[in-house]
Amino acid sequence: MDRDDLHIASYFRNLSQQDVECLLCPWHCRIRPGKTGLCGARENHEGTLYSANYGQVTSLALDPIEKKPLYHFYPGRPILSVGSFGCNLSCSFCQNWQISQGRPLSEYISPEKLVEMAVNCRPQGNLGVAYTYNEPFISYEYLADTAPLVAAEGMKNVLVTNGIVESEPLQALLPHLDAMNVDIKSMDDEFYRRLCGGRAQHPRDTVEAAMAHCHVEITNLLIPGENDSDEQIETLVDWAAGLSEHMPVHFSAYRPAHDFHAPSTPAATLKRAHEIAVSKLKFVYIGNLHLDGTTDTRCPSCDAVAVSRSGFQARPDCLSEGRCSNCGAGLNIIQ
């Protein structure tokens, strides 16, 4: 490391011979001097662990909130979206592998500067800051410094995450978060081990913990032959419905990427997932492939289209304070 803006990491302990153990996520990487953990973003420098990606921004855009995807959190509003590099999973099918699995060019943006940028985007309707693109939890210190500043401006903090984080740092951050989309790649541990280098239980734990503090939606990327059987979809739906039948669930189409070359998800698979899910869940959506009507929010009581969507554009035509304007039913929408 030769940057002047070094930031000591949270959640680590010293071991022998200047080794350290990172305690941020469940992998508890033992990191030797001069090396990084599995995520590539936490580096041991002479026996102290540092955040190597603190403020190092690789992607920055004013995105529709629907792009996260979050369909039940201020629909139709844009949000300043920021990403860095690194990830604590190694998914062979990663759709953002250029930033998650390497160190692309980045620009340092301090927490204060990012908040200033977010405030300056208010005339465009900016809702706040979304930490996304790569895995935000591995930028933990940046999140912890930035999120309270965003909140102090009356703006919202949104996290788009794989959910791989230890309970203690998660609980410390949750009071500053307003919404999360958690990627549930599969309910099957073997899938996570073989294709992601992870465990299936960790993101589910994150969802369950986060629901007590903030708005939560989940996404499931359907990969042909891997996690798209009726049984696998039913298992995910049963779990989500057990948490809340009003949990918004997004089934997303996979496209070949990185080191994985299975064919793209057929429309029929997504339609079948939707059919299975709506038997137990009130709000089910299809993403990354256009299928008429599968991105609209319909009132489960009267079937009115409360929010119509085309691409990432949303029109809350029959929505008032999170309720259906036609019949008054609650829609689990924050507006």
42 and 60 fall within a common domain: no
47 and 65 fall within a common domain: no
Of all residues in the chain, the percent with pLDDT exceeding 70 is 99
226 and 80 fall within a common domain: yes
- Whole-number Å distance between alpha carbons of 209 and 203: 10
pLDDT tens digits, residue range 132-189?
999 999 999 999 999 999 999 999 999 999 999 999 999 999 999 999 999 999 999 9
pLDDT tens digits, residue range 277-332?
999 999 999 999 989 899 999 999 999 999 999 999 999 999 999 999 999 999 99
Mean pLDDT of 203-212: 98
pLDDT band at residue 62 using 50, 70 and 90 as cut-offs: very high
- Whether 300 maps to a domain, the answer reads no
- Whether 323 maps to a domain, the answer reads no
**Structural tokens at position 218:** 């989940």
- Whether 226 maps to a domain, the answer reads yes
- Check if the beta carbon of residue 84 is closer than 8 Å to that of residue 142: yes
134 and 272 fall within a common domain: yes
* CATH value at residue 144: 3.20.20.70
Mean pLDDT of 77-97: 95
Which residues lie across from 136 on neighbouring strands?
Answer: none
Burial (CB count <10 Å: 0-12, 13-18, 19+), residue 41? buried
- Whole-number Å distance between alpha carbons of 103 and 122: 31
27 and 136 fall within a common domain: no
- Whether 154 maps to a domain, the answer reads yes
Residue 257 carries which DSSP code?
Answer: B
216 and 123 fall within a common domain: yes
121 and 227 fall within a common domain: yes
- Whether 303 maps to a domain, the answer reads no
- Whether 2 maps to a domain, the answer reads no
Give the per-residue pLDDT at 6.
78
Of 99, 277, 98, 258, which Cα lies nearest the Cα of 184?
277
pLDDT band at residue 18 using 50, 70 and 90 as cut-offs: very high
201 and 244 fall within a common domain: yes
pLDDT of residue 4 exceeding 80, the answer is: no
pLDDT of residue 5 exceeding 70, the answer is: no
- Check if the beta carbon of residue 49 is closer than 8 Å to that of residue 41: no
**Structural tokens at position 177:** 């978060």
67 and 24 fall within a common domain: no
pLDDT of residue 3 exceeding 90, the answer is: no
139 and 218 fall within a common domain: yes
3-state DSSP assignment of residue 138: helix
35 and 184 fall within a common domain: no
* Helical segments of 26-162, H only: 97-100, 111-120, 140-152
Q: How many domains does the chain have?
A: 2
Range of the domain at 255: 56-295
- Whether 315 maps to a domain, the answer reads no
- Whole-number Å distance between alpha carbons of 306 and 83: 31
pLDDT tens digits, residue range 208-252?
999 999 999 999 999 999 999 999 999 999 999 999 999 999 999
154 and 265 fall within a common domain: yes
- Whole-number Å distance between alpha carbons of 256 and 54: 31
- Whether 32 maps to a domain, the answer reads yes
Residue 196 carries which DSSP code?
Answer: I
Range scoring the smallest mean pLDDT among 99-108, 264-273, 313-322: 99-108
- Average pLDDT over the chain, rounded to an integer: 96
pLDDT of residue 110 exceeding 90, the answer is: yes
Q: Amino acid identity of 16?
A: S
